[in-house]
Amino acid sequence: MQIRYAVSKNEYPRMTTRELRAACHVEALFQTGQINLLYWETDRAVIGAAAPGDIPLPLPAERELASEYFCERRELGVLNLGAAGRVGVDGADHDLAPLECLYIGRGSREIVFSNAESGKAARFYLVSYPAHTAYPATRATHADASRLRLGTPEEANQRTLYQYIHEGGIKSCQLVMGYTQLETGSVWNTMPAHTHLRRSEVYLYFNVEENAAVVHLMGAGDETRHLLMHSEEAVLSPAWSIHSGCGTRAYSFVWAMGGENQRFADMDGIPVRDLR
């Protein structure tokens, strides 16, 4: 398990591009036949990926968690970015089609990831936060997701948010999770920008074509920086940082948050003209 430590608002302005990427950029999560995990000090988040091959992959309890099993004190969100897959939770199988979500609650002891069909690879993206109580494992299909259509063609930000784990959907302790899909011809996400000091956030960009990229904006509103992102790469966004992006063409991204507030509208907006 990799470990990434928190970056403060005070040290951030002095960081080089290389240092900022080392602290906030995550790549190579998806490796066939492996589970890769990263522990982020901020809000004690864990992100990861399970890319099963011919053999099912059990989720380990890495020593950094100091627990008997992964979800002993944690909850876990799973979003399938690949072909149809299957997640076993304490002996019960949950089939996940592409872009379907599974919530796994605190106290779930045995979690196993596998492909649903031979020769077709599921790609499970994982986000976990500490949990104070237990909620049942719950699957949500693509049709179950709450949908928010936002933006306009004129602003090049026409997009649909698919909300899975949130106040009005799958119940959780603090995890909020879903994904956003931009329409063809739209490239901007989350602009005007905002922060929310009550929770940190992780973005994972996907469906970014091979020769395309997303310029992810981060940092304090009065001193922004950027990271160049490619498909299936993540960015760790501290609570004091904006999180916005502009692609060379349309793309999608998974967003996940954890903290003391699950309200979607809990945002401290920053007008475009005030960004620096």
Global pTM?
0.96
The CATH T-level fold of domain 2-274 is: Jelly Rolls (2.60.120)
Which range is least confidently modeled, 146-150, 215-219, 235-239, 268-272?
268-272
pLDDT for residue 261 is more than 80 = no
Whether residue 189 contacts residue 242, with contact meaning beta carbons closer than 8 Å, is answered with: no
**Residue 262 — very low, low, confident or very high, per pLDDT cuts 50/70/90?**
confident
**Residue 265 — very low, low, confident or very high, per pLDDT cuts 50/70/90?**
confident
Q: How many CA atoms lie within 13 A of 54 on its CB side?
A: 0
d(CA 273, CA 276): 8
**Residue 260 — very low, low, confident or very high, per pLDDT cuts 50/70/90?**
confident
81 phi/psi in degrees, rounded to 5? -100, 5
Nearest CA to 170 out of 104, 111, 86, 98 is that of 104
How many angstroms separate the Cα of 27 from the Cα of each of 2, 51, 78, 131, 175?
Answer: 12, 14, 18, 26, 22
> Residue ranges of the alpha helices (H) in the chain?
17-24
